[in-house]
Structure formats: structure tokens, C-alpha cells
């Protein structure tokens, strides 16, 4: 009898649990951060459904390797701390790397990417001079500040002409991609710009937090706590933004590019005004911040640490999108 009573309660309970559980679970997509209440169903039809298959060829388990993800993220942040030539054109070229296109379209788009890289060659060569000058200074124990500033100016000048020089290539890129691929490219350009700002603007120059530039250097050179403290203090006074390094012009240009590139018809030349206004900001601000960091670091290092750091900086001359043909 007691068993029957218990069973009766349990049955009622199961019905309730099932009902509440079903209420809680939605079969459709869920809105993420800032998703509007009227977010459309993910099941809405689209012309390009499953149009492009990513080029991954290695079958693997479904679980993400978190450690590898962290390292890929860190590598990207470190890349954007050291490479500033090309500005928005550089972000567009990098965005092509991970579009996940089918093999035929990939080959077509990689030709356009090669063209973009060829147009960026003068800015890239100028950046080589910046890094090489800093590396030489680190090795010698004193960075030639005037020489670095001149080299950064050359990167900015070379980057400023890029929008005009790459107009045809950008129009070809637009025409080669489907609407959904164009949206994906714009997302990636915005993502690169966000990462670049995070590490070159938002991150405190003297920050000792995990993943910050100084923390990475501490790891690389086994800096002592005293060395870290000295460097951090030296970097703690932030350089105020000047009109020359105002990121709003880049924001405006990227937004204008996004709107134009996602549309069915695209004329890169129509972006000349915002492109010109934004030109050189990434090279100037990023280059100056990088130089300032190594100028603060160098006097604090031992000879062995300087040798190791100089070698690390020279290795960056061979990074992807920096060395010719990569």
C-alpha cells in the first residue's frame, strides 16, 4: 500500500518535471548576448545554405582542445602587438586566411590575396626596418629612437597609399565571394581590429597580468620580479592619443567598408574618403607603442636576455603575412 502511494506521487512528479523541462527547453536557436527579442529563427531559408564547405581534411573528435585554442588566441594577440603595416588592408588579407572556402574558390581568392600582399610590400619592407632597428638596439643595449621613429613614419606613409592601390583587388574579392562569405569576411576584419585595439590600446602598457605583453616577456626571458617592477613602472605613464592616432577614423572606415562590402554591388573607390582618413593610424600608433615598450625594457635586461630578445624580434620578420610569399 505504501509502495502504491509512493508510486502515485512519483508519477505526478515525473509529469511535472517533464512539463517544466519542456517549457525550459526551446527547440530553436537561443539569442546570445545583445540578441534582440525579435531574433529570427535560425531555420529561415537562405540561398547559400551549406554552399561552401570548409577545407579541413583531418577528422577529429568533436571536443575542442581548449589548451590549443588558448595558444592560438595568444599567438594572434602577440602577432598584432608586433605587426602594424597595411592597416585595414592587412586585416582584410588576414581575414581571407580563414574563410573556409571550397577548393576552387579558395584558389581564386588566394590569387587576389597574393595581389593584396604584393601591394603591401612597401609597407611590409618598411616594417622590417622598424623591427630590425629595434632588434639591433636591443642587442646593443640602446635603441636608436630617432631611427625607429623615422622607420615607423615610412610604414605609415607606405600604408597610407594602400586603399587606392588595392581598390581593384578588393572589388575582385567582393565579386568572388557569396553574400554569406562576404559577411563572414567582414566579421573577421572587425575581429582583427578588435584584437588589435585590445592589445595596443586597451591593455595597459605596464600591465603584469597574465597574457599581457610584459607577462609574455617575463616568460620568454625569465625576468626577475625586480626587473618586471622596473619595466612596469617605466611603462605606467600612458601616452595620450593625439589626432594623428585617433582610432575613430579606423572605426568609421571599417564600418563603411562593412556596409559597402556586404552589399550586392561594391566599388572600393567609393571608400576613398574614409580610407584616407584612417590611413596610417595602425602603423603609427602600433609602431610607436611597440618601440616604447622595447625602449623601456632594454636598459633593464642582462646581456644574455638582450641577445635572446633580439633573436626573438628577428624571428618575427618571418611571421606569416610579413615575410614575402607567406
Residue 103 touching another protein (CB under 8 A)? no
The CB-of-173 to another protein minimum distance in angstroms stands at 16
Give the torsion sign (CA, 105, 107, 110, 115): negative
Pick the stretch among 111-119, 216-224, 236-244, 316-324 that binds another protein (CB under 8 A): 316-324
Using alpha carbons only, what angle is made at residue 278 by residues 274 and 284, rounded to the nearest 5 degrees? 170
Region 36-75 residues binding another protein, contact defined as CB under 8 A: 36, 39-40, 42-62, 64, 68-69, 71-73, 75
The CB-of-236 to another protein minimum distance in angstroms stands at 26
Report the alpha-carbon distance of residue 218 to residue 231 in Å, rounded.
10
User: Taking the CA atoms of the chain, what radius of gyration do you get in angstroms?
Assistant: 25
Is residue 322 within 8 Å of 94, Cβ to Cβ?
A: no
Pick the stretch among 98-106, 109-117, 146-154, 233-241 that binds another protein (CB under 8 A): 98-106
Residue 146 touching another protein (CB under 8 A)? no
Residue whose entry in the numeric block shows the C-alpha cell 611597440: 290
Helix (H) or strand (E) holding 19: helix 2-24
Give the list of residues 6+ apart from residue 161 with CB closer than 8 angstroms, or none: 122, 279
| Per-residue DSSP letter, 244 | G
Q: Which of 110, 175, 187, 238 binds another protein (CB under 8 A)?
A: 187
Q: Which of 138, 148, 162, 184 binds another protein (CB under 8 A)?
A: 184
Residue whose entry in the numeric block shows the C-alpha cell 573577421: 188
The CB-of-57 to another protein minimum distance in angstroms stands at 8
Residue 320 touching another protein (CB under 8 A)? yes
Residue 183 touching another protein (CB under 8 A)? yes
| Per-residue DSSP letter, 212 | S
Pick the stretch among 31-39, 148-156, 236-244, 269-277 that binds another protein (CB under 8 A): 31-39
Q: Which is nearer to another protein, 30 or 242 (CB)?
A: 30
Supply 260's cell numbers: 559597402
Q: Which is nearer to another protein, 191 or 277 (CB)?
A: 191
Residue 24 touching another protein (CB under 8 A)? yes
Residue 255 touching another protein (CB under 8 A)? no
Region 276-315 residues binding another protein, contact defined as CB under 8 A: 315
| Per-residue DSSP letter, 317 | G
The CB-of-128 to another protein minimum distance in angstroms stands at 16
Supply 218's cell numbers: 617575463
Supply 69's cell numbers: 585554442
Residue whose entry in the numeric block shows the C-alpha cell 616577456: 217
Q: Which is nearer to another protein, 255 or 302 (CB)?
A: 255
The CB-of-169 to another protein minimum distance in angstroms stands at 20
Closest C-alpha to 301, from 211, 209, 234: 234
Q: Which is nearer to another protein, 141 or 209 (CB)?
A: 209
Cα-based torsion angle of the residue sequence 106, 159, 180, 56 in order, rounded to the nearest 10 degrees: 40
Residue 132 touching another protein (CB under 8 A)? no
Q: Which is nearer to another protein, 36 or 243 (CB)?
A: 36
Amino acid at each position: 500500500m505504501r509502495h502504491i502511494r509512493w508510486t502515485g506521487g512519483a508519477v505526478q512528479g515525473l509529469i511535472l518535471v517533464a512539463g517544466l523541462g519542456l517549457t525550459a527547453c526551446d527547440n530553436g536557436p537561443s539569442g546570445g548576448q545583445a540578441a534582440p527579442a525579435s531574433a529570427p529563427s535560425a531555420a529561415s531559408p537562405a540561398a547559400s545554405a551549406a554552399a561552401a564547405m570548409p577545407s579541413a581534411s583531418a577528422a577529429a573528435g568533436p571536443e575542442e582542445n581548449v589548451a590549443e585554442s588558448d595558444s592560438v588566441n595568444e599567438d594572434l594577440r602577440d602577432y598584432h602587438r608586433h605587426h602594424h603595416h597595411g592597416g585595414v588592408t592587412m586585416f582584410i588579407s588576414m581575414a581571407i586566411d580563414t574563410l573556409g572556402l571550397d577548393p576552387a574558390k579558395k584558389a581564386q581568392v588566394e590569387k587576389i590575396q597574393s595581389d593584396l600582399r604584393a601591394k603591401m610590400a612597401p609597407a611590409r619592407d618598411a616594417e622590417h626596418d622598424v623591427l630590425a632597428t629595434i632588434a639591433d638596439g636591443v642587442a646593443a643595449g640602446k635603441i636608436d629612437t630617432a631611427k625607429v621613429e623615422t622607420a615607423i613614419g615610412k610604414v605609415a606613409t607606405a600604408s597610407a597609399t594602400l586603399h587606392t592601390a588595392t581598390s581593384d583587388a578588393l572589388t575582385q574579392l567582393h565579386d568572388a565571394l557569396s553574400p554569406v562569405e562576404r559577411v563572414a569576411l567582414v566579421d573577421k576584419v572587425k575581429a582583427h581590429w578588435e584584437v588589435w585595439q585590445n592589445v595596443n590600446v586597451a591593455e595597459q602598457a605596464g600591465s603584469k597580468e597574465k597574457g599581457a605583453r610584459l607577462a609574455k616577456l617575463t616568460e620568454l626571458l625569465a625576468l626577475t620580479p625586480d626587473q618586471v617592477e622596473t619595466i612596469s613602472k617605466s611603462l605606467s605613464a600612458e601616452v595620450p592619443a593625439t589626432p594623428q592616432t585617433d582610432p575613430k577614423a579606423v572605426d568609421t572606415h571599417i564600418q563603411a567598408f562593412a556596409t559597402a562590402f556586404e552589399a550586392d554591388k561594391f566599388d572600393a573607390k567609393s571608400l576613398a574618403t574614409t580610407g584616407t582618413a584612417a590611413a596610417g593610424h595602425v602603423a603609427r600608433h602600433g609602431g610607436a607603442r611597440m618601440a616604447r615598450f622595447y625602449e623601456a625594457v632594454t636598459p633593464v635586461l642582462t646581456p644574455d636576455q638582450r641577445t635572446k630578445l633580439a633573436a626573438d624580434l628577428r624571428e618575427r620578420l618571418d611571421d606569416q603575412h610579413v615575410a614575402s610569399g607567406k
